[in-house]
Structure 1
Amino acid sequence: MITVSGLTKRYGGFTAVDAVTFSCRPGRVTGFLGPNGAGKTTTMRVMCGLTPASAGEVTIGGHHFADIPNPGRHVGVLLDASAQHAGRTGREVLTIGARTMGLPDSRVDEMLALVGLSPEESKRRVRNYSLGMRQRLGIAHALLGDPSVLILDEPANGLDPAGIRWMRDLLRDFAARGGTVLLSSHLLNEVEQVADDMVLIGNGRIVAAGDKATLLASSHTGALVQGTDPAALTAALVAEGLAVRPAGEGLHVDATPLQVGTVAARHALVLTDLRPGGGGLESIFFELTADSSREAVPTLEGAPS
Protein backbone atom coordinates (compact mmCIF):
# COMPACT_ATOMS: atom_id res chain seq x y z
CA MET A 1 0.00 0.00 0.00
CA ILE A 2 1.34 3.39 -1.02
CA THR A 3 -0.28 6.41 0.61
CA VAL A 4 0.47 9.95 -0.56
CA SER A 5 -0.96 12.60 1.79
CA GLY A 6 -0.88 16.33 1.00
CA LEU A 7 2.52 15.99 -0.66
CA THR A 8 4.11 19.30 -1.65
CA LYS A 9 7.58 19.94 -3.05
CA ARG A 10 8.91 23.44 -3.68
CA TYR A 11 12.15 24.51 -5.31
CA GLY A 12 12.55 28.12 -4.25
CA GLY A 13 9.49 29.93 -5.56
CA PHE A 14 8.49 27.07 -7.87
CA THR A 15 6.02 24.45 -6.66
CA ALA A 16 6.68 21.19 -8.49
CA VAL A 17 4.12 19.14 -6.53
CA ASP A 18 1.17 20.84 -4.87
CA ALA A 19 -0.81 19.08 -2.09
CA VAL A 20 -0.97 15.76 -3.94
CA THR A 21 -3.03 13.01 -2.30
CA PHE A 22 -3.74 9.51 -3.63
CA SER A 23 -3.17 5.86 -2.76
CA CYS A 24 -2.11 2.66 -4.53
CA ARG A 25 -3.69 -0.55 -3.30
CA PRO A 26 -2.32 -4.12 -3.10
CA GLY A 27 -3.35 -6.40 -5.93
CA ARG A 28 -3.75 -3.50 -8.35
CA VAL A 29 -1.69 -1.61 -10.92
CA THR A 30 -2.00 2.16 -10.63
CA GLY A 31 -1.15 4.23 -13.72
CA PHE A 32 0.42 7.61 -12.90
CA LEU A 33 -0.06 9.91 -15.89
CA GLY A 34 0.74 13.48 -16.79
CA PRO A 35 2.65 15.66 -19.29
CA ASN A 36 6.38 16.30 -18.99
CA GLY A 37 7.04 18.47 -15.97
CA ALA A 38 3.70 17.66 -14.34
CA GLY A 39 5.33 16.35 -11.14
CA LYS A 40 5.31 12.57 -11.65
CA THR A 41 9.01 11.91 -11.22
CA THR A 42 9.32 14.36 -8.32
CA THR A 43 6.50 12.55 -6.53
CA MET A 44 8.16 9.18 -7.11
CA ARG A 45 11.53 10.47 -5.93
CA VAL A 46 9.92 11.64 -2.68
CA MET A 47 8.36 8.19 -2.31
CA CYS A 48 11.80 6.59 -2.48
CA GLY A 49 13.50 9.01 -0.10
CA LEU A 50 15.62 10.61 -2.83
CA THR A 51 13.97 14.04 -2.55
CA PRO A 52 12.72 15.57 0.71
CA ALA A 53 9.14 16.80 0.81
CA SER A 54 8.38 20.43 1.61
CA ALA A 55 5.09 19.36 3.19
CA GLY A 56 2.95 16.25 3.48
CA GLU A 57 4.29 12.71 3.38
CA VAL A 58 4.43 9.41 1.56
CA THR A 59 4.23 6.08 3.36
CA ILE A 60 4.70 2.58 2.00
CA GLY A 61 3.06 -0.05 4.12
CA GLY A 62 2.63 2.59 6.79
CA HIS A 63 6.35 3.51 6.90
CA HIS A 64 8.50 6.21 5.35
CA PHE A 65 10.92 4.69 2.85
CA ALA A 66 13.95 5.71 4.95
CA ASP A 67 12.56 3.81 7.95
CA ILE A 68 12.10 0.50 6.11
CA PRO A 69 14.85 -1.98 7.07
CA ASN A 70 16.60 -3.33 3.95
CA PRO A 71 14.10 -1.49 1.71
CA GLY A 72 15.01 -3.39 -1.46
CA ARG A 73 13.38 -6.47 0.06
CA HIS A 74 10.08 -4.61 0.32
CA VAL A 75 10.07 -1.93 -2.41
CA GLY A 76 11.37 -2.39 -5.94
CA VAL A 77 12.28 0.87 -7.67
CA LEU A 78 13.14 1.83 -11.25
CA LEU A 79 13.31 5.58 -11.82
CA ASP A 80 16.02 5.83 -14.48
CA ALA A 81 17.24 2.80 -16.42
CA SER A 82 20.34 4.73 -17.50
CA ALA A 83 21.42 5.42 -13.91
CA GLN A 84 23.48 2.22 -13.71
CA HIS A 85 27.25 1.89 -13.56
CA ALA A 86 28.21 1.85 -17.23
CA GLY A 87 31.51 0.08 -16.56
CA ARG A 88 30.01 -2.94 -14.81
CA THR A 89 28.40 -5.91 -16.48
CA GLY A 90 24.71 -6.60 -16.05
CA ARG A 91 25.53 -9.59 -13.85
CA GLU A 92 27.81 -7.48 -11.66
CA VAL A 93 25.09 -4.85 -11.17
CA LEU A 94 22.65 -7.49 -9.97
CA THR A 95 25.24 -9.35 -7.89
CA ILE A 96 26.14 -6.18 -5.97
CA GLY A 97 22.44 -5.56 -5.36
CA ALA A 98 21.84 -9.13 -4.21
CA ARG A 99 24.75 -9.11 -1.76
CA THR A 100 23.72 -5.70 -0.42
CA MET A 101 20.28 -7.13 0.33
CA GLY A 102 21.68 -10.36 1.77
CA LEU A 103 20.40 -12.51 -1.08
CA PRO A 104 22.12 -15.59 -2.55
CA ASP A 105 23.87 -15.21 -5.90
CA SER A 106 21.39 -17.72 -7.34
CA ARG A 107 18.81 -14.93 -7.23
CA VAL A 108 20.81 -13.12 -9.91
CA ASP A 109 20.40 -16.01 -12.34
CA GLU A 110 16.68 -16.16 -11.58
CA MET A 111 16.22 -12.49 -12.38
CA LEU A 112 18.32 -12.58 -15.55
CA ALA A 113 16.18 -15.45 -16.81
CA LEU A 114 12.98 -13.67 -15.78
CA VAL A 115 13.77 -10.51 -17.77
CA GLY A 116 15.19 -12.35 -20.76
CA LEU A 117 18.86 -11.33 -20.55
CA SER A 118 20.97 -14.21 -21.83
CA PRO A 119 24.20 -15.40 -20.11
CA GLU A 120 26.19 -13.73 -22.89
CA GLU A 121 24.32 -10.45 -22.52
CA SER A 122 24.74 -10.50 -18.75
CA LYS A 123 28.53 -10.47 -19.22
CA ARG A 124 28.48 -7.34 -21.38
CA ARG A 125 29.14 -3.97 -19.83
CA VAL A 126 26.11 -1.78 -19.31
CA ARG A 127 27.58 0.93 -21.55
CA ASN A 128 27.11 -1.52 -24.43
CA TYR A 129 23.46 -2.23 -23.60
CA SER A 130 20.61 -0.85 -25.68
CA LEU A 131 17.99 1.20 -23.84
CA GLY A 132 15.65 -1.80 -23.92
CA MET A 133 18.30 -4.02 -22.32
CA ARG A 134 18.92 -1.41 -19.63
CA GLN A 135 15.20 -1.35 -18.91
CA ARG A 136 15.19 -5.12 -18.52
CA LEU A 137 18.19 -4.92 -16.21
CA GLY A 138 16.52 -2.17 -14.19
CA ILE A 139 13.34 -4.24 -13.84
CA ALA A 140 15.45 -7.23 -12.77
CA HIS A 141 17.07 -5.09 -10.08
CA ALA A 142 13.67 -3.81 -8.91
CA LEU A 143 12.42 -7.39 -8.55
CA LEU A 144 15.65 -8.73 -7.07
CA GLY A 145 14.54 -8.58 -3.43
CA ASP A 146 11.11 -10.13 -4.12
CA PRO A 147 9.36 -6.91 -3.01
CA SER A 148 5.66 -6.42 -2.39
CA VAL A 149 5.64 -2.92 -3.94
CA LEU A 150 6.95 -1.75 -7.32
CA ILE A 151 7.55 1.91 -8.24
CA LEU A 152 8.40 2.21 -11.93
CA ASP A 153 8.98 5.41 -13.89
CA GLU A 154 8.64 4.93 -17.67
CA PRO A 155 9.70 1.25 -17.61
CA ALA A 156 8.57 0.62 -21.20
CA ASN A 157 10.96 3.17 -22.74
CA GLY A 158 13.13 1.42 -25.32
CA LEU A 159 11.21 -1.86 -25.27
CA ASP A 160 10.02 -3.32 -28.56
CA PRO A 161 6.37 -4.47 -28.94
CA ALA A 162 7.20 -7.97 -27.66
CA GLY A 163 9.05 -6.45 -24.70
CA ILE A 164 6.11 -4.17 -23.87
CA ARG A 165 3.76 -7.15 -23.90
CA TRP A 166 6.19 -9.09 -21.69
CA MET A 167 6.30 -6.22 -19.21
CA ARG A 168 2.52 -5.92 -19.21
CA ASP A 169 2.15 -9.62 -18.37
CA LEU A 170 4.85 -9.36 -15.70
CA LEU A 171 3.09 -6.48 -13.94
CA ARG A 172 -0.32 -8.12 -14.15
CA ASP A 173 1.12 -11.30 -12.62
CA PHE A 174 2.86 -9.30 -9.88
CA ALA A 175 -0.40 -7.57 -8.96
CA ALA A 176 -2.38 -10.82 -9.17
CA ARG A 177 -0.10 -12.24 -6.48
CA GLY A 178 -1.04 -9.33 -4.18
CA GLY A 179 1.67 -6.85 -5.12
CA THR A 180 1.21 -3.08 -5.36
CA VAL A 181 2.36 -1.40 -8.60
CA LEU A 182 2.74 2.31 -9.34
CA LEU A 183 3.50 2.77 -13.02
CA SER A 184 4.35 6.05 -14.72
CA SER A 185 4.28 6.01 -18.51
CA HIS A 186 3.64 8.13 -21.60
CA LEU A 187 2.37 5.07 -23.49
CA LEU A 188 -1.31 5.72 -22.81
CA ASN A 189 -2.53 2.65 -24.67
CA GLU A 190 -0.30 0.39 -22.59
CA VAL A 191 -1.42 2.01 -19.34
CA GLU A 192 -5.04 1.61 -20.40
CA GLN A 193 -4.45 -2.11 -20.94
CA VAL A 194 -2.55 -2.87 -17.74
CA ALA A 195 -3.80 -0.41 -15.10
CA ASP A 196 -6.65 -1.01 -12.67
CA ASP A 197 -6.56 2.51 -11.25
CA MET A 198 -5.35 5.81 -12.67
CA VAL A 199 -4.02 9.06 -11.26
CA LEU A 200 -3.68 12.03 -13.63
CA ILE A 201 -1.48 14.96 -12.63
CA GLY A 202 -1.02 18.36 -14.27
CA ASN A 203 0.94 21.39 -13.07
CA GLY A 204 1.79 19.50 -9.90
CA ARG A 205 -1.84 18.87 -8.94
CA ILE A 206 -4.09 15.83 -9.21
CA VAL A 207 -6.71 16.48 -11.88
CA ALA A 208 -8.42 13.07 -11.79
CA ALA A 209 -8.09 9.79 -9.90
CA GLY A 210 -10.10 6.60 -9.65
CA ASP A 211 -10.57 3.14 -11.06
CA LYS A 212 -10.08 2.77 -14.80
CA ALA A 213 -13.64 1.74 -15.61
CA THR A 214 -15.14 4.79 -13.90
CA LEU A 215 -12.71 7.24 -15.50
CA LEU A 216 -13.15 5.81 -18.97
CA ALA A 217 -16.92 5.74 -18.58
CA SER A 218 -16.82 9.48 -17.90
CA SER A 219 -15.50 10.02 -21.44
CA HIS A 220 -18.25 8.00 -23.08
CA THR A 221 -20.55 10.65 -24.48
CA GLY A 222 -23.14 9.09 -26.71
CA ALA A 223 -22.54 6.31 -29.22
CA LEU A 224 -20.92 5.91 -32.64
CA VAL A 225 -22.81 3.69 -35.05
CA GLN A 226 -22.64 2.55 -38.67
CA GLY A 227 -25.15 0.44 -40.60
CA THR A 228 -25.79 -0.97 -44.05
CA ASP A 229 -28.64 1.53 -44.58
CA PRO A 230 -27.56 4.88 -43.08
CA ALA A 231 -30.71 6.74 -44.19
CA ALA A 232 -33.06 4.19 -42.62
CA LEU A 233 -30.95 4.06 -39.47
CA THR A 234 -31.01 7.85 -39.15
CA ALA A 235 -34.76 7.95 -39.65
CA ALA A 236 -35.35 5.23 -37.05
CA LEU A 237 -33.19 6.95 -34.44
CA VAL A 238 -34.77 10.36 -35.04
CA ALA A 239 -38.24 8.80 -34.83
CA GLU A 240 -37.28 7.55 -31.35
CA GLY A 241 -36.48 11.13 -30.33
CA LEU A 242 -32.70 10.68 -30.35
CA ALA A 243 -30.33 13.44 -31.55
CA VAL A 244 -28.24 12.26 -34.49
CA ARG A 245 -25.39 13.92 -36.38
CA PRO A 246 -22.84 12.69 -38.95
CA ALA A 247 -19.51 11.44 -37.59
CA GLY A 248 -16.99 10.27 -40.16
CA GLU A 249 -18.50 7.39 -42.08
CA GLY A 250 -21.18 6.83 -39.44
CA LEU A 251 -23.40 8.62 -36.97
CA HIS A 252 -22.98 10.04 -33.49
CA VAL A 253 -26.08 9.48 -31.38
CA ASP A 254 -26.84 11.12 -28.04
CA ALA A 255 -27.73 7.80 -26.44
CA THR A 256 -26.06 4.73 -25.00
CA PRO A 257 -24.90 1.93 -27.33
CA LEU A 258 -27.60 -0.27 -25.76
CA GLN A 259 -30.32 2.22 -26.69
CA VAL A 260 -29.02 2.49 -30.26
CA GLY A 261 -28.76 -1.28 -30.63
CA THR A 262 -32.30 -1.72 -29.31
CA VAL A 263 -33.69 0.74 -31.87
CA ALA A 264 -31.79 -0.99 -34.68
CA ALA A 265 -33.11 -4.40 -33.62
CA ARG A 266 -36.66 -3.12 -33.40
CA HIS A 267 -36.46 -1.85 -37.00
CA ALA A 268 -34.52 -4.89 -38.28
CA LEU A 269 -31.55 -2.74 -39.29
CA VAL A 270 -28.10 -4.27 -39.75
CA LEU A 271 -25.27 -2.54 -37.85
CA THR A 272 -21.63 -2.80 -38.90
CA ASP A 273 -20.20 -0.84 -35.96
CA LEU A 274 -21.51 0.23 -32.56
CA ARG A 275 -19.37 1.61 -29.75
CA PRO A 276 -19.22 4.29 -27.05
CA GLY A 277 -18.61 7.78 -28.38
CA GLY A 278 -15.80 8.72 -26.00
CA GLY A 279 -12.15 8.90 -26.96
CA GLY A 280 -10.83 6.62 -24.21
CA LEU A 281 -7.84 7.34 -22.02
CA GLU A 282 -6.13 9.55 -24.59
CA SER A 283 -9.16 11.83 -24.76
CA ILE A 284 -9.35 12.10 -20.96
CA PHE A 285 -5.61 12.71 -20.71
CA PHE A 286 -5.55 15.60 -23.17
CA GLU A 287 -8.74 17.15 -21.85
CA LEU A 288 -7.65 17.16 -18.20
CA THR A 289 -4.00 18.09 -18.72
CA ALA A 290 -4.44 20.64 -21.51
CA ASP A 291 -3.42 23.53 -19.24
CA SER A 292 -0.05 21.94 -18.48
CA SER A 293 0.79 20.63 -21.96
CA ARG A 294 3.79 22.08 -23.77
CA GLU A 295 2.42 21.12 -27.16
CA ALA A 296 0.48 23.32 -29.54
CA VAL A 297 -0.10 23.23 -33.26
CA PRO A 298 2.83 25.20 -34.69
CA THR A 299 2.33 27.98 -37.19
CA LEU A 300 5.22 28.70 -39.52
CA GLU A 301 5.41 32.05 -41.24
CA GLY A 302 5.46 31.67 -44.97
CA ALA A 303 4.26 28.07 -44.85
CA PRO A 304 1.94 27.13 -47.70
CA SER A 305 -1.75 27.04 -46.78
Structure 2
Amino acid sequence: MIEVENLTRRYGPYVAVDDVSFRVHPGTVTGFLGPNGAGKSTCMRMITGLTPPTSGTATVLGKPYAALGNPGRHAGVLLDASAQHNGRTGREILTLGAIMMGLDRRRVDEMLELVGLTPAESRRRLRNYSLGMRQRLGIAHALLGDPQVLILDEPANGLDPAGIRWMRSLLRGFADEGGTVLLSSHLLHEIEVVADDLVVIGRGKIVANGSKAELMSAAGTTVRSTDDARLANALEVGGFQAGPLAGGGVHTDAEPRMVGQLALEQQIALVELREAGTAGLEEMFLQLTAADAREGVAA
Protein backbone atom coordinates (compact mmCIF):
# COMPACT_ATOMS: atom_id res chain seq x y z
CA MET A 1 0.00 0.00 0.00
CA ILE A 2 1.15 3.51 -0.86
CA GLU A 3 -0.75 6.38 0.77
CA VAL A 4 -0.26 10.00 -0.26
CA GLU A 5 -2.10 12.60 1.82
CA ASN A 6 -2.20 16.33 0.98
CA LEU A 7 1.34 16.21 -0.40
CA THR A 8 2.70 19.64 -1.36
CA ARG A 9 6.11 20.84 -2.54
CA ARG A 10 6.95 24.51 -3.06
CA TYR A 11 10.11 26.04 -4.49
CA GLY A 12 9.80 29.67 -3.44
CA PRO A 13 6.65 30.99 -5.12
CA TYR A 14 6.45 28.01 -7.49
CA VAL A 15 4.19 25.11 -6.41
CA ALA A 16 5.43 21.89 -8.04
CA VAL A 17 2.99 19.59 -6.25
CA ASP A 18 -0.22 21.02 -4.81
CA ASP A 19 -2.20 19.14 -2.13
CA VAL A 20 -2.01 15.74 -3.86
CA SER A 21 -3.77 12.72 -2.31
CA PHE A 22 -4.19 9.18 -3.66
CA ARG A 23 -3.73 5.53 -2.71
CA VAL A 24 -2.12 2.60 -4.48
CA HIS A 25 -3.56 -0.72 -3.32
CA PRO A 26 -1.95 -4.17 -3.12
CA GLY A 27 -2.69 -6.37 -6.10
CA THR A 28 -3.00 -3.44 -8.48
CA VAL A 29 -0.98 -1.48 -11.02
CA THR A 30 -1.71 2.25 -10.72
CA GLY A 31 -0.79 4.37 -13.72
CA PHE A 32 0.49 7.86 -12.84
CA LEU A 33 -0.10 10.16 -15.83
CA GLY A 34 0.57 13.79 -16.63
CA PRO A 35 2.43 16.02 -19.08
CA ASN A 36 6.04 17.09 -18.58
CA GLY A 37 6.36 19.45 -15.63
CA ALA A 38 3.05 18.34 -14.11
CA GLY A 39 4.69 17.15 -10.86
CA LYS A 40 4.86 13.36 -11.32
CA SER A 41 8.58 12.94 -10.70
CA THR A 42 8.59 15.38 -7.79
CA CYS A 43 5.73 13.47 -6.21
CA MET A 44 7.53 10.14 -6.64
CA ARG A 45 10.72 11.61 -5.17
CA MET A 46 8.74 12.72 -2.11
CA ILE A 47 7.20 9.26 -1.75
CA THR A 48 10.69 7.71 -1.75
CA GLY A 49 12.18 10.28 0.65
CA LEU A 50 14.52 11.91 -1.87
CA THR A 51 12.71 15.27 -1.78
CA PRO A 52 11.24 16.54 1.49
CA PRO A 53 7.63 17.73 1.20
CA THR A 54 6.67 21.26 2.17
CA SER A 55 3.59 19.74 3.77
CA GLY A 56 1.60 16.52 3.71
CA THR A 57 2.69 12.92 4.09
CA ALA A 58 3.54 9.87 2.00
CA THR A 59 3.82 6.37 3.40
CA VAL A 60 4.84 3.03 1.93
CA LEU A 61 3.54 -0.04 3.76
CA GLY A 62 2.34 2.25 6.55
CA LYS A 63 5.64 4.08 7.13
CA PRO A 64 7.64 6.88 5.53
CA TYR A 65 10.01 5.29 3.04
CA ALA A 66 13.06 6.41 5.03
CA ALA A 67 11.68 4.66 8.14
CA LEU A 68 11.53 1.26 6.43
CA GLY A 69 14.24 -1.03 7.77
CA ASN A 70 16.40 -2.10 4.80
CA PRO A 71 13.96 -0.36 2.40
CA GLY A 72 15.06 -2.25 -0.72
CA ARG A 73 13.65 -5.43 0.83
CA HIS A 74 10.22 -3.78 1.02
CA ALA A 75 9.96 -1.29 -1.85
CA GLY A 76 11.82 -1.44 -5.16
CA VAL A 77 12.44 1.94 -6.78
CA LEU A 78 13.47 3.00 -10.29
CA LEU A 79 13.39 6.76 -10.80
CA ASP A 80 16.35 7.26 -13.16
CA ALA A 81 17.92 4.34 -15.02
CA SER A 82 21.08 6.39 -15.64
CA ALA A 83 21.71 7.15 -11.97
CA GLN A 84 24.40 4.48 -11.57
CA HIS A 85 28.21 4.52 -11.71
CA ASN A 86 29.16 4.38 -15.40
CA GLY A 87 32.46 2.64 -14.62
CA ARG A 88 30.86 -0.37 -12.97
CA THR A 89 29.48 -3.41 -14.72
CA GLY A 90 25.86 -4.38 -14.50
CA ARG A 91 26.78 -7.40 -12.39
CA GLU A 92 28.84 -5.25 -10.01
CA ILE A 93 25.93 -2.85 -9.50
CA LEU A 94 23.55 -5.68 -8.63
CA THR A 95 26.15 -7.41 -6.46
CA LEU A 96 26.70 -4.23 -4.43
CA GLY A 97 22.94 -3.95 -4.01
CA ALA A 98 22.74 -7.55 -2.83
CA ILE A 99 25.53 -6.93 -0.29
CA MET A 100 23.79 -3.80 1.02
CA MET A 101 20.50 -5.67 1.42
CA GLY A 102 22.08 -8.78 2.93
CA LEU A 103 21.00 -11.02 0.06
CA ASP A 104 22.44 -14.26 -1.25
CA ARG A 105 24.64 -13.54 -4.30
CA ARG A 106 22.61 -16.08 -6.30
CA ARG A 107 19.84 -13.49 -6.36
CA VAL A 108 21.99 -11.43 -8.77
CA ASP A 109 22.00 -14.23 -11.36
CA GLU A 110 18.25 -14.73 -10.90
CA MET A 111 17.55 -11.06 -11.59
CA LEU A 112 19.87 -10.88 -14.60
CA GLU A 113 18.07 -13.85 -16.11
CA LEU A 114 14.65 -12.39 -15.24
CA VAL A 115 15.31 -9.11 -17.06
CA GLY A 116 17.06 -10.73 -20.02
CA LEU A 117 20.62 -9.45 -19.57
CA THR A 118 23.09 -12.10 -20.78
CA PRO A 119 26.29 -13.01 -18.88
CA ALA A 120 28.32 -11.10 -21.49
CA GLU A 121 26.09 -8.02 -21.13
CA SER A 122 26.28 -8.18 -17.34
CA ARG A 123 30.08 -7.84 -17.58
CA ARG A 124 29.93 -4.67 -19.66
CA ARG A 125 30.55 -1.27 -18.09
CA LEU A 126 27.40 0.76 -17.68
CA ARG A 127 28.79 3.44 -20.00
CA ASN A 128 28.44 0.90 -22.81
CA TYR A 129 24.79 0.09 -22.05
CA SER A 130 21.96 1.26 -24.27
CA LEU A 131 19.06 3.05 -22.58
CA GLY A 132 16.97 -0.12 -22.87
CA MET A 133 19.69 -2.17 -21.15
CA ARG A 134 19.93 0.43 -18.37
CA GLN A 135 16.17 0.17 -17.88
CA ARG A 136 16.38 -3.63 -17.60
CA LEU A 137 19.21 -3.32 -15.08
CA GLY A 138 17.22 -0.73 -13.12
CA ILE A 139 14.21 -3.03 -13.00
CA ALA A 140 16.48 -5.89 -11.88
CA HIS A 141 17.80 -3.68 -9.06
CA ALA A 142 14.25 -2.67 -8.03
CA LEU A 143 13.24 -6.35 -7.83
CA LEU A 144 16.48 -7.52 -6.20
CA GLY A 145 15.20 -7.46 -2.62
CA ASP A 146 11.94 -9.29 -3.48
CA PRO A 147 9.88 -6.23 -2.45
CA GLN A 148 6.15 -5.91 -1.91
CA VAL A 149 5.99 -2.51 -3.64
CA LEU A 150 7.40 -1.17 -6.91
CA ILE A 151 7.72 2.56 -7.67
CA LEU A 152 8.80 3.07 -11.29
CA ASP A 153 9.24 6.34 -13.17
CA GLU A 154 9.13 5.94 -16.97
CA PRO A 155 10.55 2.39 -16.97
CA ALA A 156 9.60 1.77 -20.61
CA ASN A 157 11.88 4.52 -21.97
CA GLY A 158 14.34 2.98 -24.40
CA LEU A 159 12.62 -0.41 -24.56
CA ASP A 160 11.67 -1.83 -27.94
CA PRO A 161 8.15 -3.23 -28.52
CA ALA A 162 9.20 -6.69 -27.32
CA GLY A 163 10.75 -5.13 -24.22
CA ILE A 164 7.61 -3.14 -23.48
CA ARG A 165 5.51 -6.29 -23.77
CA TRP A 166 7.94 -8.11 -21.46
CA MET A 167 7.76 -5.30 -18.88
CA ARG A 168 3.97 -5.25 -19.07
CA SER A 169 3.83 -8.99 -18.37
CA LEU A 170 6.33 -8.65 -15.52
CA LEU A 171 4.38 -5.89 -13.77
CA ARG A 172 1.04 -7.60 -14.32
CA GLY A 173 2.42 -10.80 -12.79
CA PHE A 174 3.89 -8.89 -9.84
CA ALA A 175 0.53 -7.25 -9.08
CA ASP A 176 -1.42 -10.47 -9.60
CA GLU A 177 0.70 -12.06 -6.86
CA GLY A 178 -0.34 -9.30 -4.44
CA GLY A 179 2.31 -6.68 -5.16
CA THR A 180 1.69 -2.93 -5.27
CA VAL A 181 2.84 -1.03 -8.38
CA LEU A 182 2.98 2.74 -8.96
CA LEU A 183 3.93 3.26 -12.60
CA SER A 184 4.62 6.61 -14.25
CA SER A 185 4.77 6.65 -18.04
CA HIS A 186 4.21 8.91 -21.03
CA LEU A 187 3.04 5.88 -23.04
CA LEU A 188 -0.69 6.28 -22.51
CA HIS A 189 -1.60 3.12 -24.41
CA GLU A 190 0.78 0.97 -22.37
CA ILE A 191 -0.60 2.38 -19.14
CA GLU A 192 -4.14 1.69 -20.38
CA VAL A 193 -3.24 -1.93 -21.16
CA VAL A 194 -1.55 -2.80 -17.86
CA ALA A 195 -3.11 -0.49 -15.25
CA ASP A 196 -6.04 -1.19 -12.95
CA ASP A 197 -6.28 2.36 -11.60
CA LEU A 198 -5.27 5.75 -13.00
CA VAL A 199 -4.10 8.96 -11.35
CA VAL A 200 -3.84 11.97 -13.68
CA ILE A 201 -1.94 15.07 -12.57
CA GLY A 202 -1.75 18.51 -14.19
CA ARG A 203 -0.08 21.67 -12.86
CA GLY A 204 0.72 19.81 -9.64
CA LYS A 205 -2.92 18.93 -8.91
CA ILE A 206 -4.85 15.68 -9.29
CA VAL A 207 -7.31 16.15 -12.14
CA ALA A 208 -8.61 12.56 -12.32
CA ASN A 209 -8.34 9.56 -10.00
CA GLY A 210 -10.17 6.26 -10.20
CA SER A 211 -10.35 2.82 -11.69
CA LYS A 212 -9.52 2.43 -15.36
CA ALA A 213 -13.03 1.15 -16.01
CA GLU A 214 -14.60 4.24 -14.40
CA LEU A 215 -12.40 6.69 -16.25
CA MET A 216 -12.78 4.93 -19.59
CA SER A 217 -16.54 4.96 -19.11
CA ALA A 218 -16.34 8.69 -18.40
CA ALA A 219 -14.24 9.08 -21.55
CA GLY A 220 -17.44 8.97 -23.59
CA THR A 221 -18.68 7.34 -26.78
CA THR A 222 -17.42 6.85 -30.32
CA VAL A 223 -20.09 6.80 -33.03
CA ARG A 224 -20.05 6.61 -36.83
CA SER A 225 -23.14 7.18 -38.91
CA THR A 226 -24.42 8.00 -42.38
CA ASP A 227 -24.49 11.70 -41.43
CA ASP A 228 -21.91 12.49 -38.75
CA ALA A 229 -22.30 16.27 -39.03
CA ARG A 230 -26.05 16.18 -38.44
CA LEU A 231 -25.64 13.69 -35.58
CA ALA A 232 -23.00 15.89 -33.93
CA ASN A 233 -25.33 18.87 -34.22
CA ALA A 234 -28.20 16.89 -32.65
CA LEU A 235 -25.95 15.89 -29.76
CA GLU A 236 -24.89 19.50 -29.16
CA VAL A 237 -28.50 20.69 -29.28
CA GLY A 238 -29.24 17.99 -26.71
CA GLY A 239 -26.66 19.48 -24.37
CA PHE A 240 -23.77 17.11 -25.04
CA GLN A 241 -20.25 17.78 -26.26
CA ALA A 242 -19.52 16.32 -29.67
CA GLY A 243 -16.55 16.62 -32.00
CA PRO A 244 -15.28 14.99 -35.18
CA LEU A 245 -12.72 12.17 -35.11
CA ALA A 246 -9.72 12.23 -37.44
CA GLY A 247 -10.67 8.96 -39.13
CA GLY A 248 -14.34 9.84 -39.43
CA GLY A 249 -17.10 9.61 -36.87
CA VAL A 250 -17.89 11.57 -33.72
CA HIS A 251 -16.61 11.51 -30.14
CA THR A 252 -19.16 12.61 -27.53
CA ASP A 253 -19.57 12.61 -23.76
CA ALA A 254 -23.09 11.18 -24.14
CA GLU A 255 -23.69 7.58 -23.15
CA PRO A 256 -24.16 5.09 -26.03
CA ARG A 257 -27.87 4.66 -25.15
CA MET A 258 -28.50 8.40 -25.47
CA VAL A 259 -26.57 8.57 -28.76
CA GLY A 260 -28.71 5.76 -30.15
CA GLN A 261 -31.91 7.47 -29.00
CA LEU A 262 -30.97 10.79 -30.63
CA ALA A 263 -29.94 9.02 -33.84
CA LEU A 264 -33.31 7.27 -33.93
CA GLU A 265 -35.18 10.54 -33.41
CA GLN A 266 -33.21 12.15 -36.25
CA GLN A 267 -33.56 9.02 -38.42
CA ILE A 268 -29.79 8.75 -38.84
CA ALA A 269 -28.49 5.24 -39.46
CA LEU A 270 -25.59 4.24 -37.18
CA VAL A 271 -22.60 2.34 -38.57
CA GLU A 272 -20.72 2.01 -35.27
CA LEU A 273 -21.57 2.77 -31.65
CA ARG A 274 -19.29 1.93 -28.71
CA GLU A 275 -17.65 3.28 -25.59
CA ALA A 276 -14.67 5.36 -26.63
CA GLY A 277 -12.03 3.15 -25.00
CA THR A 278 -8.39 4.10 -25.52
CA ALA A 279 -9.15 6.93 -27.95
CA GLY A 280 -11.57 8.43 -25.46
CA LEU A 281 -9.10 7.99 -22.63
CA GLU A 282 -6.47 9.84 -24.64
CA GLU A 283 -8.94 12.60 -25.47
CA MET A 284 -9.92 12.90 -21.81
CA PHE A 285 -6.25 13.00 -20.77
CA LEU A 286 -5.48 15.79 -23.25
CA GLN A 287 -8.51 17.80 -22.16
CA LEU A 288 -7.73 17.42 -18.44
CA THR A 289 -4.09 18.41 -18.85
CA ALA A 290 -4.42 20.86 -21.75
CA ALA A 291 -3.34 23.87 -19.68
CA ASP A 292 -0.12 22.10 -18.70
CA ALA A 293 0.78 20.18 -21.86
CA ARG A 294 3.46 21.04 -24.36
CA GLU A 295 2.74 20.43 -28.01
CA GLY A 296 3.25 16.77 -28.88
CA VAL A 297 4.30 15.78 -25.35
CA ALA A 298 2.44 13.87 -22.67
CA ALA A 299 4.77 12.59 -19.94
Question: Which TM-score band (shorter chain)?
Answer: 0.7 to 0.9
Aligned equivalents of 2:293, 2:250: Cα separation in 1: 31
1:59-208 to 2 correspondences below 5 Å: 59-208=59-208
CA RMSD of aligned residues (A): 2.8
Distance 1:283 1:15, change over 3 A: same
**Which structure 1 segments of 5+ residues have no match?**
297-305
Maintained 8 Å contact 1:225/1:275: no
Summarize deviations over 1:136-161 as a string: whole Å, max 9, x none. 00000000000000000000000000
Shift of 1:277: 4.5
Maintained 8 Å contact 1:223/1:255: no
**Which structure 2 segments of 5+ residues have no match?**
none
Distance 1:95 1:225, change over 3 A: same
Aligned equivalents of 2:250, 2:71: Cα separation in 1: 55
- 2:224 corresponds in structure 1 to 225
- 1:302 corresponds in structure 2 to none
TM (norm. structure 1) is 0.84
Summarize deviations over 1:210-237 as a string: whole Å, max 9, x none. 11111111111x44135xxx48xx99xx
TM (norm. structure 2) is 0.86
Aligned equivalents of 1:291, 1:119: Cα separation in 2: 47
Distance 1:13 1:120, change over 3 A: same
SS for the counterpart of 1:183 is: strand
Shift of 1:61: 1.1
One-letter code aligned to 1:150: L
Shift of 1:295: 2.5
Shift of 1:289: 0.6
Maintained 8 Å contact 2:223/2:271: no
One-letter code aligned to 2:173: D
Q: Which structure would you say has the larger Rg?
A: 1
Summarize deviations over 1:177-224 as a string: whole Å, max 9, x none. 00000000000000010111011111111111011111111111x441
Summarize deviations over 1:79-113 as a string: whole Å, max 9, x none. 00000110000000000000100001100000000
Maintained 8 Å contact 1:76/1:141: yes
Aligned equivalents of 1:196, 1:261: Cα separation in 2: 29
Count of aligned residue pairs for this structure pair? 283
